[in-house]
Each structure stands twice: as structure tokens, then as C-alpha cells.
Amino acid sequence: MLTAAVFALQAALEPATPIDPPAPTSQVEILPLRTDPVVLDQLAGGPAKGAWGVSVQAGYPWFSLRALVGVGHRLAPLLEVESALGRRFSFSAGLSLAWVDRPHVRLSGEVLLGWMLQEAELSKRGPSGELRLRLAFPVRWAVPYLVLGTRHALLPSRTQIIREAGTETQWSVRHEWTPWGSVGLGIRISQRIGLDVAADYGWVDAPASVAIPGVHLAFHFGGGR
């Protein structure tokens, strides 16, 4: 009995074995992906995956409707319909790809293929294509931008020559070149709504014709942001 009491007293007086604190658990903070306003994506091209936008442009002499949606890696299919004073129409589909994407600068390239139709004194129609560069410098709510493009159309024509022996039909193809440029300012109203105003310079059928400068006002809206 005495021996058991002594052992119990010694156990009570011995210091308790320290308990190590639990090891800290590592925490990973998931930051949201940067989302760009629709006005930047529409003016500079190359939206992020899932971001889509539509632009409605009205001015003199050009009117247009443009839509694109990001599919990943800053690549976006796009559709465009354009009209000049209701007499000249072009319908195009293509791709937009951002080559440089920084917080305050974006550079993208676009390639489009489609069909051009002109109903006037001289009717024209044929396949068309365009290469385009877009450069923008977003700063807070403002998006100054520049667009440079080169458009090409192949216009087949038919000539009928009536002779005594019969009618002879001759076909020929003419190339039409239209250099293009726009400089303007986009205004971000919200992530999904924006405006822009710009001066346009399109030289249709250069250098055989006279270039007519123009202006436009556009409304941009979209989602996926």
C-alpha cells in the first residue's frame, strides 16, 4: 500500500509530456480571372473564353453588325455584316486572335472571308477577304484604339458579244482593293455595356476611285463576364 502511494505521488509530481501544436495547414487563395469590359473586347479583339459581345455601328457611310465569342487562348470566331448607304453589302465570317494582351495594351489580328454585293449603276458581286489589325490602350473607363485593314474582292463579270454566227460569252475577273483605317475612343459604361465614336477612312476600289472619309457611333453589349 505504501509503495503504491509513493509511485502515485511521483507520477503526480512529474511534469506532463508536452503536446506538439498541430502543424499549420497550407491554404491556396484562388483569385478570380481578369475579366475585360465588352467595349475592349469588341474594339481590340481576342476576348477571354466564354466572353461574347455584339456591336451595332451606325454612321456615314458605313453601318455594321459585329458579333464574336471567345473559345480559349484569346481566340474568337466572329461574324460581320456591313453596309454602305444601303447599296453595298458584305457578309463575312472569320477569326480574331490577341497576340499581345497586357493590362494597358492589346494587339490582335483578324482574318475574314465572305461575299460582297453591290447594287447600283454598276452591279458588283463576288467573294471577298480581309486582313485586319486592332490596337487598343485601355485606361480606366477609356479605350483609345486604332484599326487598320486591307480588303480584297474578286469580281467576275460576263460580256456577251452578238454576232451573225451567234452569241459569244466572255468571262473576266477583276480585283478590287479597299484599304481601311479607323481611329477612335471607346467608353466603358459597365463590364457588359460600352460605346465608341471614331473617324473612318475607307478607299473603295483604290486607287481608281476617290476615298470618302466617314464617322460612326457604335453601341457594344455582351455577357460571360
Q: Each residue's pLDDT tens digit in the chain (225 positions)?
A: 555 554 554 555 555 555 666 666 666 554 444 579 999 999 999 999 999 999 999 999 999 999 999 999 999 999 999 999 888 999 999 999 999 999 999 999 999 999 999 987 778 899 999 999 999 999 999 999 999 999 999 999 877 677 667 677 777 899 999 999 999 999 999 999 999 999 999 999 999 888 889 999 999 999 998
Q: Provide the pLDDT for residue 154.
A: 96
Residue type, position 119, single letter? E
pLDDT value of residue 34: 58
- The C-alpha atoms of residue 150 and residue 141 are separated, in whole angstroms, by 30
CB-based contact 81:64 (threshold 8 Å): yes
Superfamily for the 36-223 domain: OPCA outer membrane adhesin/invasin (2.40.128.100)
Q: Would you give the distance in Å from CA 80 to the centre of its chain?
A: 11
Task: Read off the amino acid at residue 205.
Answer: D
The pLDDT score that the predictor gives to residue 22 is 64
Rounded to whole angstroms, how far apart are CA atoms 90 and 113?
A: 10
pLDDT at 121: 72
Output the pLDDT for position 211. Answer: 87
Residue 198's Cβ-side half-sphere holds a number of Cα atoms within 13 Å equal to 27
Q: Which amino acid is at 143?
A: V
